[in-house]
Structure 1
Amino acid sequence: MKSNFQFQNLCGTVYRQGNVVFTPDGNSVLSPVGNRVSVFDLVNNKSRTLPFENRKNIASIALSPDGNVLISIDEDGRALLVHFRKGTVLHHISFKGKVNHVSFSPDGKYIAITHGHKIHVWKTPSHLVREFAPFELHREYSGHHDEVTSVCWSKTSRYFVTTSRDMTARLYTLNPLEGFKPKQFAGHRDVVLNAFFSEDEKTIYTVSRDGAVFAWSAKKGASAEDSDVEMDILDAPSTSASGANLALEHTVAYTRWGISNRHFFNQPGTKVVCATFHPKTSLLIVGFSTGVFGLWEMPSFTPVHTLSISNEKISSVAVSASGEWLAFGAAKLGQLLVWEWQSESYVLKQQGHYYDMNTISFSPDGQNIATGGEDGKVKLWNATSGFCFVTFPEHTASVSTVEFAKQGQVLFTASLDGTVRAYDMVRYRNFRTFTSPTPVQFSSLAVDPSGDVVCAGSQDSFEIYMWSVQTGKLLDILTGHTAPVCGLAFSPTGDQLASASWDRSIRLWSVFGRSRTTEPITLSSEATALAFRPDGKEVCASTLDGQLTFIDVAEGEIKSVIEGRRDISGGRKVDDRLTAANNAASKYFNSVTYTADGGCVLAGGSSKYVVIYDRQEGVMIKKFQISENLSLDGTLEMLDSRKMTAAGPIDSIDETGDNSDLEERLDKTLPGATKGDLSKRRYRREAKTNSVKFSSTGRSWAAASTEGLLIYTVDETTSFDPFDLSLDLTPENIIKTLEQGDHLIALIMALRLSEKPLIQRVYENIPPSSIRLISRQLPKVYIENLMKFINHHIENTPHIEFDLLWIAGMLTSHGRSIKERKGELAGTLRGLVRGLMNLESNVAKLSDQNTFSIDYIISQMERNEKMNTSKKINGHSRDDLADLGIEIDV
């Protein structure tokens, strides 16, 4: 259980670089996030991150037309072929060079990749059979004089058109044809970014970076430059039956192409960055360098829509199969947007932190996670869906700490801008701002369990400030530390405040007592983080020498120490003069937290590892590696000698001046600035963990890392934990017992076998009238397993009343036993509370929608009745109404 945590999701980062892709059904978007791929389900409003990792940041991805196979290629040209539905890696291959674009043929049989100025077409490996050499090269195509930028297939998969930096496009056939030469489309004055086939394949559109769109169609008349085969087939098809058949089958190949129309976007001061085309609706979607995108209907080039959606350039654009949804990725700001152009509304709008994520905090129910970043923003993420639903931009400097109040819906944040802010989680507004008498930078924060008092530690005056949340007034200033206060924590019982400082001491303050005197507890080195055990009897502090020190609160003495220098030691950075084994820079923890039961300690630091320790034994249980991305500093243990040059490691050399485009050669960063503009080429991000926190349910923990917000949960899908097994305990016997009406025995047998589908079948077949009796007769040994199953059932099925009856029956019958085992069952009970709160919010939302719908229907009925009444009156003549005694004044 303690070491069974598995990677579940990556939040906080929605797009980094590369191309975004829609699934064939159009319901999900695939987005590269570093060296991983995230899948955003737009219909069910959920996100998940596939478990595989590339060696470096992903440069290009493609999904097969049937949605079974995904290929992801990193910056070095190393590719992974992945079974998309299972998320498992099938094959590896290195294309030994940078790949700008990868594309599956519409029939799914071939994969085309760009390889410098050439194009390679490979046969698609089977995802059903394991092969020794799965990748088979079909053909290699050449002809371009510079780097190829894109490949576009025709719908018949017989041809493809490529674009290049040599300002031309070329048409190739998949298989050799008699007398065919690759057609060249020249005339553009800048890099040709994309080329597309129309639906009937009679027109080819080419888009260049300077905003020109050329439409190519068949020429009228012959030319001396055309081949003899083309002349024979096109001018005299009746002379040869085989030539006529060949011309009909390969019309695209033997067409003499020429420019039929030239169009220009006329967007001043901007360049085209990306484009895509939807053949069925003939819509051309283009993203520009100013954050504007536009829709044009071809071939008439009629502008349909133009909108600015970002402050930075749009890096990638994709269109769904139906043509209704457009997906955009902006790499510089880390934005992912899905736009429904017909209704002009956002389907998805997500953005991560602009720079590093500094701190995280779980809400008391474990449903939401708050994050604070270097960009001064505070974001709230849903732990289940993985989406950000609120962003608070009030802070003007880096956010150092975020903390939820244990009681009530309030979030507190501390920042280096000298303010502590309180946010209402119901109305999502900043209702209190706390400041100090003299401007200071706040580096730590603690909230009283009752939520009435908030404390913050300063980085420059070395004091601790206390405020009243109700009045917003400063209550007290605690002095005594002689160095920055790096950690603050209130005891869960609320009677003591612990503070850790760089002055190598920890102090315990009785903030609600009359005495303010406190004796410092001396540590072996500078303190970096602090955490209280959930029962409030122990404090854990991490120090700069890599130790975890455990202090008894009642006696104020150090009880034990865990030496973690070897465990947390990370990899070697590119510019390090020392090896990883001899470098002390990363051999300490900067964040520490207890598990929900207090039995383990989780700690992370400036390293690629997060370590979990057993508190009683003082031994390491497991090390979690947060990333294997070689694009980050500190993931390799040893540097690669092949990348060493006379000027130092090749990764540390600035290659900005070697780029072909003027915009990419310009270095707009200020000298000496290490944070800010992420487009600076020579800057390398470092693999590290800034904060780790455990969920209150104890079933998940999160880490704020360089890659984003990593969430790990207990993996129960692969665990099979039966007990009291016997030879007659089989699924067949359980079903037979259930059919005989022995529901209690069938339920006990299913719980013994511990197979969820079987438990669910027995559970849902129990009559509601028998629930109370079966709950009372259920042996105590099965309480925990049944409560865990109800917890899972209430979140994934619509049987609301049925589950509520079971919860009521179990709590009524076994309430005393559950109370005695509250420490053991704490996670399960919190999970039930979370499920019930989700139910409450869903039912409330549904009720509001139904109330509105009913009011609307009633108002429409009343309106229709009035209209029908007036029509009946108007349908009679005045004499008929007079005979009825009705007089109408005209």
Structure 2
Amino acid sequence: MFRVSDMQITSVAINNTGDWLALGCGKGSAAQLVVWEWQSETYVLKQQAHSQRILAVQYSPDGSLLGTGAEDGKIFVWSMENGSLLDVLSGHQSNIADISMHGNALASVSWDRTLKLWNIVDSTCETTELAQEGLAVAFSPCGLLIAVLTVDSNVTIYHAKDKEIVQKLAGYPSAFIRKQVAVLICINGIVKGRLWNIVDSTCETTELAQEGLAVAISPCGLLIAVLTVDSNVTIYHAKDMAFIGSIDARLDLDPSRGQADLITRQNAAKSKSFTCMQFSPDSAMLLLGGESNNFCMYSVVDRMLVKKFTITENRSLDGVVLDVNRRNFTEFGNMALFDSSDSETEPDGKRAIRLPGSKHFDLGERSARPQVAVYAVTYCPTGRRFAVCSTEGVGVYSLDTVGLFDPFQLDSQTTPAMIKNALSLDDYSTALMASLRLNDTPLIQRSMESTPLEQSWFFHRICYRLSYSYWSLYLKIPVELVVRSLPLSYVEKLLKWIADGRVVASSTHVHFYMVRHFFFVSSSKVSVSKNIDI
């Protein structure tokens, strides 16, 4: 953490009781938020981002934590419940190359030739010296083995408990590793890939069409995806390395021309490609990111583009605008490359180069635009969200758009009469939510048991006269429709109400059907929301 006295304070706020003082200080990567309790003279909260580029990101197995590693040699552990910083793991003397999480353990490799195994609970670590700089690290699914790739093209398998070397595998230059059960993949910098079985040290070699950059194994263990330098993804069967299909993602990369590029955009795009990828937990999607302002999601079965995401619209970064503005061209060159500001404190949107010939470390007098790119992608084990590590930082994308706050909870018109009126109009979901807001057991019981288990005969006749699409939509039983319409906060309250045993003995047991549909509709959302305690 930087000291507050070393930076300019830009924002001040005081809470209602006057006990806490919030200070926002610094700017850019050195900005931080500090909450100070003046009575005890202690910090209540200290939040700060990485001071340099984030190169590695990884979810914990339960999806509640997110670990990030950056060029500043620090590892941050974030809470996915509220996005707050839980812990800072400091110990590496150089860039963090890769991290891997398993349970309460976090393994990290750095360019300082060390492998560190951290305990997230008490922030302790055990250090193992490496022969060369580390490039990648991965836990085995059981958590007993750790695979480490170094720059000398060797893959070393360590025992996670005593750090003893179990096995060494000879790799290739620029190799990259990923794991699945007892299988290890090495993609070399030439045109070959190796499939290792670390149990009996057997190896199977596969010829690649281009230089390999990344590899991913599906969570089901049946598919292997290989990304080459021409942005082509080749999918193989993991058992016999049989060719299944390929995804040509070259046109979807859509790279831009840099401000300092002297060649056209079409020629500049030939030297850029996707560099990282990962399967979704259900092995149905494949996420790709690389040297572009875009990252893409593909369907593995159809091998087609599902959605293209844009990282940022911040034009102070190089690579956001597709091509350079030719109106800035003069006889002296591209004027956009020159810093025309005469003020050192003016926020010109450019990042300072701190040492001559370097783009990081201490402040200097020159400035430049960072190149926008994606450095790592990772899926949450629940499959409901994924994280993308880019020049702008770490962005978390989620399918859960419904928040836990319901603005209608403060509605003064929520009365028993309104609930009875909603039931008379067959508006079962509104009646159930209103009764849960009142927390009235008889009304909850009445609203729940008034929901029919099947549609009436007259409703079936009406739906039969509709088209097939409308017919299949409206023929769903009312219990399922009510469950689908309930927000996550009401799902929590209703499950707690049922779990507390408030259902009377004379019930028709409609709640059994509701719980069944809860498991099919909302189980993934409840598992992601960690602040729900049932």
1:51-200 matches, within 5 Å, as none
Give the counterpart of 1:604 among 265, 277, 289: 289
Give the counterpart of 2:160 among 464, 469, 473: 469
Give the counterpart of 2:12 among 318, 328, 346: 318
Contact 1:790 1:803 in 2 (8 A): no
Give the counterpart of 1:329 among 25, 29, 32: 25
Structure 2 counterpart of 1:186: none
Structure 2 counterpart of 1:829: 523
CA 617–678 in structure 1, closer or farther in 2 if over 3 Å, else same: farther
CA 337–538 in structure 1, closer or farther in 2 if over 3 Å, else same: same
Q: Which amino acid in the other structure matches residue 101 of structure 2?
A: F
CA 365–660 in structure 1, closer or farther in 2 if over 3 Å, else same: closer
Give the counterpart of 1:499 among 164, 186, 190: 186
CA 501–330 in structure 1, closer or farther in 2 if over 3 Å, else same: same
- Supply the distance in 2 between the matched residues of 1:416 and 1:810 (Cα, whole angstroms): 60
Structure 1 counterpart of 2:337: 652
Q: Which amino acid in the other structure matches residue 153 of structure 2?
A: F
Work out whether 1:521 is the aligned partner of 2:213: no
SS at match of 1:567: helix
Give the counterpart of 1:801 among 480, 496, 503: 496
1:720-869 matches, within 5 Å, as 735-736=419-420, 749-750=428-429, 760-761=433-434, 792-793=488-489, 801-802=496-497, 804=499, 828-835=522-529, 839=533
Contact 1:791 1:828 in 2 (8 A): no
- Supply the distance in 2 between the matched residues of 1:452 and 1:811 (Cα, whole angstroms): 43
- Supply the distance in 1 between the matched residues of 2:357 and 2:321 (Cα, whole angstroms): 26
Work out whether 1:434 is the aligned partner of 2:124: no
Work out whether 1:489 is the aligned partner of 2:181: no
- Supply the distance in 1 between the matched residues of 2:421 and 2:312 (Cα, whole angstroms): 49
Residues 301-344 of structure 1 deviation map (CA, whole Å, 9 limit, x = unaligned): xxxxxxx535x332524344867524131126232223343442
Structure 1 counterpart of 2:104: 409
Contact 1:568 1:586 in 2 (8 A): no
Contact 1:530 1:592 in 2 (8 A): yes
Structure 2 counterpart of 1:451: 143
Contact 2:382 2:528 in 1 (8 A): no
Work out whether 1:617 is the aligned partner of 2:291: no
Q: Displacement of 1:660 after TM fit? A: 7.8
CA 337–550 in structure 1, closer or farther in 2 if over 3 Å, else same: same
CA 591–346 in structure 1, closer or farther in 2 if over 3 Å, else same: same
Q: What number of residue pairs does the alignment pair up?
A: 484
Residues 770-819 of structure 1 deviation map (CA, whole Å, 9 limit, x = unaligned): 69x9699967977877777778227986x78326459x99998799x88x
Contact 1:702 1:710 in 2 (8 A): yes
CA 734–606 in structure 1, closer or farther in 2 if over 3 Å, else same: farther
CA 612–777 in structure 1, closer or farther in 2 if over 3 Å, else same: same
Contact 1:569 1:580 in 2 (8 A): no
Residues 378-426 of structure 1 deviation map (CA, whole Å, 9 limit, x = unaligned): 0011223122111101111111112221xx3222222222222222232
- Supply the distance in 2 between the matched residues of 1:458 and 1:685 (Cα, whole angstroms): 27
Contact 2:422 2:431 in 1 (8 A): no
Structure 1 counterpart of 2:398: 713
Q: Displacement of 1:610 after TM fit? A: 1.1
Normalization by structure 1: what TM-score? 0.49
Contact 1:590 1:606 in 2 (8 A): yes
Contact 2:319 2:371 in 1 (8 A): yes
CA 425–759 in structure 1, closer or farther in 2 if over 3 Å, else same: farther
Q: Which amino acid in the other structure matches residue 133 of structure 2?
A: Q
Structure 1 counterpart of 2:220: 535
SS at match of 2:327: helix
SS at match of 2:267: coil
1:26-65 matches, within 5 Å, as none
Residues 711-748 of structure 1 deviation map (CA, whole Å, 9 limit, x = unaligned): 11226459xxxxxxxxxxxxx999447657xxxx968x
- Supply the distance in 2 between the matched residues of 1:616 and 1:557 (Cα, whole angstroms): 16
Work out whether 1:374 is the aligned partner of 2:80: no
Contact 1:547 1:564 in 2 (8 A): yes
Structure 2 counterpart of 1:390: 87
Structure 1 counterpart of 2:231: 546
CA 767–521 in structure 1, closer or farther in 2 if over 3 Å, else same: farther
Work out whether 1:510 is the aligned partner of 2:197: yes
Contact 1:791 1:835 in 2 (8 A): no
- Supply the distance in 2 between the matched residues of 1:543 and 1:391 (Cα, whole angstroms): 35
Give the counterpart of 1:421 among 116, 122, 146: 116
Q: Which amino acid in the other structure matches residue 166 of structure 2?
A: L
SS at match of 2:395: strand
CA 421–370 in structure 1, closer or farther in 2 if over 3 Å, else same: same
Work out whether 1:626 is the aligned partner of 2:318: no
CA 445–795 in structure 1, closer or farther in 2 if over 3 Å, else same: farther
- Supply the distance in 2 between the matched residues of 1:470 and 1:781 (Cα, whole angstroms): 53
Q: Displacement of 1:553 after TM fit? A: 0.5
Q: CA RMSD in A?
A: 3.9
Structure 1 counterpart of 2:280: 595
Q: Displacement of 1:587 after TM fit? A: 3.3
Contact 1:586 1:606 in 2 (8 A): no
Contact 1:613 1:619 in 2 (8 A): yes
- Supply the distance in 2 between the matched residues of 1:401 and 1:320 (Cα, whole angstroms): 40
Structure 1 regions of 5+ residues with no counterpart? 1-13, 15-290, 292-307, 719-731, 751-756, 841-890
Normalization by structure 2: what TM-score? 0.79
SS at match of 1:704: strand
Contact 2:24 2:31 in 1 (8 A): no
- Supply the distance in 1 between the matched residues of 2:322 and 2:513 (Cα, whole angstroms): 57
SS at match of 1:583: helix
Contact 2:67 2:76 in 1 (8 A): yes
Q: Displacement of 1:369 after TM fit? A: 1.0
Contact 1:457 1:485 in 2 (8 A): yes
SS at match of 2:497: helix
Comparing 414-423 and 647-656, the one that deviates more: 647-656
Residues 104-154 of structure 1 deviation map (CA, whole Å, 9 limit, x = unaligned): xxxxxxxxxxxxxxxxxxxxxxxxxxxxxxxxxxxxxxxxxxxxxxxxxxx
Structure 2 regions of 5+ residues with no counterpart? 404-415, 455-475, 504-508
Q: Which amino acid in the other structure matches residue 608 of structure 1?
A: N
- Supply the distance in 2 between the matched residues of 1:811 and 1:835 (Cα, whole angstroms): 22
Work out whether 1:361 is the aligned partner of 2:51: no
Q: Which amino acid in the other structure matches residue 686 of structure 1?
A: Q
Residues 679-724 of structure 1 deviation map (CA, whole Å, 9 limit, x = unaligned): 5532211111111112122221111111111111226459xxxxxx
Work out whether 1:576 is the aligned partner of 2:274: no
Q: Displacement of 1:574 after TM fit? A: 0.7
Q: Which amino acid in the other structure matches residue 595 of structure 1?
A: S
SS at match of 2:296: strand
Contact 1:565 1:587 in 2 (8 A): no
CA 654–814 in structure 1, closer or farther in 2 if over 3 Å, else same: closer
- Supply the distance in 1 between the matched residues of 2:71 and 2:481 (Cα, whole angstroms): 43
Structure 1 counterpart of 2:244: 559
Give the counterpart of 1:637 among 322, 331, 335: 322
